[in-house]
Each structure stands twice: as C-alpha cells, then as structure tokens.
Structure 1
Amino acid sequence: MKKTLMALTSVATLLCANGAANAAGTIQGKLGVTLTIGAGCSIKGGDSSGTANNFGSINFGTYSSLDNIIDATATGSSGGSLILNCTKDTNYTVALDNGLHVTSSTQRSMASTAGDLISYNLYQDAEHTIAWG
C-alpha cells in the first residue's frame, strides 16, 4: 500500500512540477476547425415581422385617366430592392406570384374597397420588356 501511495505521490509531484514550468512558457500545437455550409439562399430587403416579410409597397398614385402608362417604384425600408445571397453553385429562381386578386394565369389586379378590379403588371426593367412572373 505504501508503494502505491508513494508512486502516486511521485507522479503527482512530477505533473505539478511540469505544469509549473509550462505555465511561464508557450505551448504550441494544432487545432482542427471545420464548418459545413449547406446549399441555400437568403433574401434581404424590407422588414420581417413574425413569419412574414415586408418588402415595401407600390403606390400608383391618383389619376383621372388610364389612357397612359403609369409607372411606380416599390418603396420601403429596403428602397424597393431585394438582395439575394446564395451559396456557391446553388441554382435559384426569383419569381412573383399574381397577387391577391388574380383574374387569369398571367394578369394581376388590384381591388377597390367596393370590389372593383383594375389590372396591372410588374416589370423587372424600366422599358417594360421583362415581366415578373
């Protein structure tokens, strides 16, 4: 029993002495670090409240005639812009649906409080050649 106790005491003394010597010095070594990022995208722009995103609004204004093209730009905290960030080599598509008052598979409509509808389109470019869909 004394031999075991003596041996443990000697090992403990040796470890303490070794620890004291290293405390004042520098120990170098390697540390492996890994990070796995899955494929995906995130979209930024606008505000988030709960599970809904608010990307701003489009106000076409007040007009007495619909004979002319009426332009409007989305406004909001993101300035009407959406920023899409995707991981490398991730395929993506950006699309907008036809809204709440769709009248056909391709026609968006706004509704008045009386339920009257007026058609409108959203375009990706100022020349009105690339429709959102």
Structure 2
Amino acid sequence: MKLKLLTSVLTIALISGPITGVADAATYSNGTATATFLVSLTLQANCTITANPLAFGTNGVLTTALNQQTTVAVDCTNTTPYNVGLDGGTVSGSTVTSRLMAGTATGNTTTTVAFQLYQDSGHTTVWGNTQGTNTVGGTGSGSAQSINVYGQIPVQATPRPDTYQTTVTATVYF
C-alpha cells in the first residue's frame, strides 16, 4: 500500500509539472516607498553681549592721567543693526558724564575716584547709553564683533589708599 501511494504521488507530480506557490527569494523583492518632509528654522533678529574688565592697575599719586582699554563683544544675527551703550556705573552719584569708582574698604565707601569711558583712543567722545546720541552702533555679521572701550582716570586730588571700583553695565540695543 505504501508503494502504491508513493507511485501515485510521483505520477501526479510528473503530470502536473513543478509545484507552484513556493516563494523563490531570487525572483521576489520588497517594494519601496518614499516620503519627503520639510526642515525649517526661523531666525529672529537677536544679539548677545559680553564685556571684559577694565583695570587701571596700581598707582600712587594721580598727577598724570591713567589710560587703559578693554573690549565688549557683540554677537548679532547677520544684518541686524545694533547700538551698544554703557551706563554710569553702580556708585551713588555716578552718571555717564561724571563716572565714579568708590573705595571698597570698610568706612571708605563714600570716597571716590573720577574716571571716564570713551568711544575713541583720543578720549574725545564720551560713551553713554542714549541711543543715537552717545552709543556705538554697528551691523551684525553673525559672528562676535569686538569693540574697544577706552578708559581714563584724569588728574585729580588723590584720595586715601584703597581699591576703588564700580560696575558698569553694557547694553546692546537691537
């Protein structure tokens, strides 16, 4: 009986031809599909500012003007117009036109030393914080731009020995 069944299966296979419906990896492939998507960024006009300290060093009697310089760096988006202003500082009574540093020792915080900040090395244009009047303008490039700040302590009566200081705020307007 087994032999008869095997003979019947072989006969059917020979008559009907090759068996179909079996996947052949060489003749079938996966399909593909694609999609696109938008990538975007909106840049707004923007600026950042950093400032370096201005140190006049150590001195004795203030019989000659002391000159030093420092920099502020402005980084604005490309083509963004800006103005940089410097305020009068944190010492009581200090203004843009009459800047003061105060003593830091206990009991000496009301003693002051006058100084000024200028836009130019010739010390002719005071640097203030009124846009269009005494600020320094420019146009952003997309990279940091360094701007010189020229400081001067003029000849004056020399107060008692101490460390004199103030904090000036640099502001970028854009």
Question: TM-score normalized by structure 2?
Answer: 0.46
Match of 1:32 in 2: 38
Q: CA deviation at 1:29?
A: 4.7
Q: CA deviation at 1:92?
A: 1.8
For the pair shown, which has the larger CA radius of gyration, 1 or 2?
A: 2
| Deviation sequence 1:78-111 (CA, Å, 0-9, x none) | xxx3321222443321011000124445211011
Say if 2:87 and 2:95, in contact at 8 Å, map to a contact too: no
Distance in 1 separating the partners of 2:74 and 2:35: 40
Percent of paired sites with the same residue:
32
The residue correspondences of 1:81-92 to structure 2 (distance < 5 A) are 81-92=71-82
Partner of 1:21: 30
Distance change >3 Å, CA 105–CA 121, structure 1 → 2: closer
What CA RMSD, in Å, does the superposition of the two structures yield over aligned residues?
A: 2.4
Partner of 1:118: 113
**CA separation of 1:105/1:32 partners in 2, compared to 1, >3 Å: closer, same or farther?**
closer
Aligned-pair distance for 1:63?
A: 2.5
Matched residue SS, 2:82: coil
| Higher fraction of strand | 2
Structure 2 counterpart of 1:32, which letter? L
Structure having the higher helix fraction is: 1
Distance in 2, matches of 1:41 and 1:120, equals 28
Q: Does 1:61 align with 2:57?
A: yes
CA distance in 1, matches of 2:95, 2:48: 30
Distance in 2 of aligned mates of 1:59 and 1:91: 30
Structure 1 spans left out of the alignment, 5+ residues: 1-19, 46-54, 75-80
How far 1:57 sits from its partner (Å)? Answer: 2.2
C-alpha separation in 2, matches of 1:105 and 1:72: 18
Structure 2 counterpart of 1:106: 97
